Structure 1
Amino acid sequence: MNKYSEMSDFEVNDEVVESLGLYHLMYYSYDPYFIIWDVASNDLYNGFTSKKGHEFNPCNDKTIAFQLMIDNKLDLDFNPLTHSWSCRKLTHKNYFSSLNENPCRAIAECFLLIKDAEKDNE
């Protein structure tokens, strides 16, 4: 369990947007809770292609989640004992890990744990 495990998908998505520096490119809907691209489509921002009017939802969109996984060289596998997905990264200084039934959510949480460590080292 990590500090992101108890957050809603919307809260985790918001943290990912902040970590990627994309906040100023998004529109936030609070009823219902969505984060939506608010810039022209097909522009590249931090490795992500904008899609005006489309939701930015790394907790449930495999295209976004897998881009995070590839860009950050994260490992992902299924644990049959816990019936959950394990996303992790081992560096020379740290080990980051997240377990979740949703593989996209596990990736987003692991990404945020890495970003937290990077902030702490600044």
Structure 2
Amino acid sequence: MKLHDKKEEILDHIQRIYLPYTVIDVGWWYKLTVLRVPSGKLDHGLAFPNNNIIAGGNTPSALLNVLDVGKYVAAIIDDPRTINKKVLADTEAKMQNEVHELVDKVTGEKPECTELSKEQLEPQYLQFKGTDE
């Protein structure tokens, strides 16, 4: 069973037995969005270097600093309005192209990028979809 399906199955069970819950989804970590530049000056902050621009790079992604996750979780579970809700914790939304431009502006270097179209990603997605997550 896929991880997402299992998560939904567990949430469904929690709801059926009327157990109070709060589902917290966190945005993509900033350190996973920083792009590599030719000089390597940002390499120290790259957790998983990935310079792929996906399907044009114009889809917003929810972003946050991994060090802020605890603060968000504490505030969310302390708020009674979040009981029996799904909550997204993020600091801001940015498109890949915006991050690309920001890295260029801050470093003075064009990030090394590979553009991947939806058509190029489809076979990878289908292969992944057929496996357990």
TM over 0.5, yes or no?
A: no
- The structure that is helix-richer by fraction is 2
Relative CO higher for 1 or 2, CA cutoff 8 Å, sep ≥ 6?
2
- The structure that is strand-richer by fraction is 1
TM-score band (shorter)? under 0.3
Q: Which has the larger radius of gyration?
A: 2
**Normalised by the size of structure 1, how large is the TM-score?**
0.23
**Normalised by the size of structure 2, how large is the TM-score?**
0.22
